[in-house]
């Protein structure tokens, strides 16, 4: 562990302006600084950085905290990882303690894994179960599969090693019964799957019954060492392969993962009886892999795949879904020697966005107008949660699935969709529209520099204007709107410059976050946009290209 005093020392070296400035472009604003907020789809700089308070705060999404919190959130790291990252950034050497308690605990889990492992050799029916599922000896060895005998036998073993009840409780190994009079081990007559942390420490177990206990699988409970929703089973063995192949296969089960490894798919992992969540993403984000979701084709599997697809597409992950039917899951297919077929399936997944749209639409009866409307709403809300480029590319898929004209699918940026009516109003866009309504000859000044796609909140109205549909009530309303000014040519140009700076700054942020671009592409786009912003700031217009 990192020594506390060392963390405190590091903290005194951190300056919020400097830390945030490493990631974002800051603008001086009185005593504070402002920036485009990276935690929501921001168009105006909503993030305020206060040097006197040493904090940041977003007035739009509410994100906020100190330097450490910023790096944690931005880089999606946990606390110690963040401290280490900051220490590297500021060339600060941390001191570590070798925490005694952590040492004891680790030994406990190591001992217990070994104990279960030995018991597998004594329990014929357990070993036979594994062999009959097609699991080979070397796989049993690699994943250290074991067998938990009766609760009393395990407790005797642990007590014999001098572990106290509180230690056993700490690690979720044993507990006291509700009546408070009897200690019991959580795993009783089960095949044991030891679960390692990403660095390889044993942190928990999964157990499968072989005595027809109604709970087929159980996992260690949530403890301070074991957080199911941050761990992936098999990750420790898979990470090098994921990194090399730029691909990860995510399954729902221990056996699927083990059997896939046995068949050479060493980039397979499993969620631990939970959905794939945001908390899992830091494990894979940095390797930028294509993600294959290999899930069950039953209702629960489909629901889980939909949730995961939504999450992954929102974060611009490449990849897709493959659903397995009854008696044909990855473990069975490996056992039956269908390796080639599996390989083919993993290469022919249905892309996340397509899968999500198809499944959302399938939830509704499209012959009913009201249901169809709901399907449109849910589908649109999903599309709007995606990065802009994806929204545009998949608009047609949604309208096609619903058999509706494409213009009914409104893809707007998240920020402008924030529920309230006011959020749709963008004064700058409206001012430009109203000015042209008022002085139509100014349209030429506009069109050289502004493309219709740059209008985010009032794209429809701008389109109407270009099509000269001046009687349309939406345009009439803008024409009569007293709060919106009309400009002369000089003021129009300065409004356009403001508009363009905003557009390109936002584009810059999107490119910085885009996981689909290579480093070189990013550098190229970033430079060209920065050049544009530079010119605009000097008061020069830049042509749209």
The CB density around residue 179, as the number of other CB atoms within 10 Å, is 6
Closest distance to Zn ion from the beta carbon of 282 (Å): 20
Between residues 26 and 258, which has the closer beta carbon with respect to Zn ion? 26
Span near Zn ion by CB under 5 A; candidates 29-37, 245-253, 347-355, 383-391: 29-37
Closest distance to Zn ion from the beta carbon of 37 (Å): 3
Between residues 46 and 113, which has the closer beta carbon with respect to Zn ion? 46
Closest distance to Zn ion from the beta carbon of 42 (Å): 6
DSSP structure string for 45-111: --EEEETTTTEEEETTT--EE-HHHHHHHHHT--HHHHHHHHHHHTT----B---HHHHHHHHHHHH
Between residues 39 and 74, which has the closer beta carbon with respect to Zn ion? 39
Question: Do residues 355 and 306 lie in contact, with contact meaning Cβ atoms separated by under 8 Å?
Answer: yes
The CB density around residue 493, as the number of other CB atoms within 10 Å, is 17
User: Could you say which of 37, 323, 353, 398 contacts Zn ion (CB under 5 A)?
Assistant: 37
User: Could you say which of 26, 58, 312, 360 contacts Zn ion (CB under 5 A)?
Assistant: 58
User: Could you say which of 9, 17, 39, 373 contacts Zn ion (CB under 5 A)?
Assistant: 39
User: Could you say which of 6, 9, 60, 530 contacts Zn ion (CB under 5 A)?
Assistant: 60
E strand or H helix at 28: strand 27-29
Between residues 262 and 505, which has the closer beta carbon with respect to Zn ion? 505
**Any idea what DSSP says for residue 454?**
G
Closest distance to Zn ion from the beta carbon of 60 (Å): 5
Question: Do residues 48 and 34 lie in contact, with contact meaning Cβ atoms separated by under 8 Å?
Answer: yes
Closest distance to Zn ion from the beta carbon of 26 (Å): 15
Nearest to 108 by CA among 118, 116, 119, 97: 116
User: Could you say which of 9, 11, 40, 413 contacts Zn ion (CB under 5 A)?
Assistant: 40
Closest distance to Zn ion from the beta carbon of 33 (Å): 15
Question: Would you state the structure tokens that stand for residue 312, as one six-digit string?
Answer: 């992954």
Closest distance to Zn ion from the beta carbon of 418 (Å): 11
User: Could you say which of 61, 114, 493, 517 contacts Zn ion (CB under 5 A)?
Assistant: 61
For the chain, give the number of residues: 545
Q: Is 48 in the site for Zn ion (CB under 5 A)?
A: no
Task: Give the gyration radius of the chain's Cα atoms.
Answer: 29
Question: Do residues 259 and 294 lie in contact, with contact meaning Cβ atoms separated by under 8 Å?
Answer: no
Give the integer Cα–Cα distance in Å for 270 and 250: 5
Beta bridge partners of 239: none
Give the integer Cα–Cα distance in Å for 156 and 169: 15
Q: Is 446 in the site for Zn ion (CB under 5 A)?
A: no
Residues at the site binding Zn ion, with contacts judged by CB under 5 A: 37, 39-40, 58, 60-61, 63
């Amino acid at each position: 562990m990192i020594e506390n005093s060392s963390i405190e020392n590091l903290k005194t070296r951190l300056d919020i302006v400097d830390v945030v400035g490493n990631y974002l472009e800051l603008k001086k604003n009185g005593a504070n600084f402002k920036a485009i907020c990276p935690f929501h789809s921001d168009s105006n700089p909503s993030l305020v950085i206060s040097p006197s308070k040493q904090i940041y705060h977003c007035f739009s999404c509410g994100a906020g905290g100190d330097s450490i919190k910023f790096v944690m959130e931005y880089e999606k790291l946990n606390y110690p990882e963040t401290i280490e990252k900051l220490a590297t950034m500021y060339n600060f050497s941390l001191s570590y303690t070798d925490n005694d308690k952590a040492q004891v605990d680790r030994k406990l889990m190591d001992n217990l894994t070994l104990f279960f492992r030995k018991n597998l050799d004594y329990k014929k029916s357990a070993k036979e179960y594994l062999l009959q599922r097609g699991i080979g000896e070397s796989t049993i060895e690699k994943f250290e599969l074991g067998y938990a005998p009766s609760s009393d036998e395990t407790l005797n073993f642990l007590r014999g090693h001098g572990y106290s009840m509180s230690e056993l409780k700490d690690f979720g190994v044993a507990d006291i019964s509700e009546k408070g009079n009897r200690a019991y081990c959580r795993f009783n007559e089960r095949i044991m799957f030891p679960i390692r942390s990403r660095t390889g420490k044993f942190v928990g177990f999964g157990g499968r019954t072989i005595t027809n206990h109604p709970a087929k699988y159980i996992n260690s409970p949530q403890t301070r060492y074991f957080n199911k929703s941050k761990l992936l089973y098999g990750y420790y063995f898979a990470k090098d392969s994921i990194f090399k192949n730029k691909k990860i296969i995510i399954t729902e089960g221990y056996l699927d993962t083990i059997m896939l490894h046995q068949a050479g798919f060493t980039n397979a992992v499993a969620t631990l009886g939970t959905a794939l969540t945001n908390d899992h993403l830091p494990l894979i984000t940095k390797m930028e892999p294509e993600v294959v979701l290999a899930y069950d084709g039953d209702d629960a599997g489909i629901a889980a795949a939909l949730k995961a697809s939504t999450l992954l597409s929102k974060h611009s992950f490449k990849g897709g879904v493959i659903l397995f039917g009854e008696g044909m899951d990855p473990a069975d297919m490996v056992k039956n020697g269908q390796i080639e077929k599996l390989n083919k399936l993993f290469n022919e997944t249905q892309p996340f966005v397509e899968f999500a749209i198809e499944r959302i639409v399938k939830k509704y009866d499209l012959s009913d107008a009201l249901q169809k409307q709901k399907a449109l709403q849910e589908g649109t809300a999903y599309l709007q949660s995606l990065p802009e480029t994806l929204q545009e590319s998949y608009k047609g898929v949604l309208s096609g699935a619903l058999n509706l004209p494409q213009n009914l699918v409104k893809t707007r940026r998240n920020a402008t969709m924030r529920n309230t009516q006011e959020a749709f109003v963008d004064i700058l866009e409206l001012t430009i529209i109203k000015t042209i309504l008022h002085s139509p000859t100014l349209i030429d000044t506009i069109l050289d520099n502004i493309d219709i796609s740059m209008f985010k909140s009032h794209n429809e109205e701008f389109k109407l204007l270009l099509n000269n549909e001046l009687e349309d009530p939406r345009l009439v309303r803008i024409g009569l709107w007293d709060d919106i000014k009309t400009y002369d040519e000089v003021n129009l140009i300065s409004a356009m410059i403001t508009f363009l700076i905003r557009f390109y700054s936002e584009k810059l942020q999107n490119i910085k976050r885009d996981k689909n671009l290579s480093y070189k592409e990013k550098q190229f786009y970033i430079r060209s946009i920065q050049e544009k912003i530079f010119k605009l700031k000097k008061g020069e217009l830049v042509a749209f290209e």
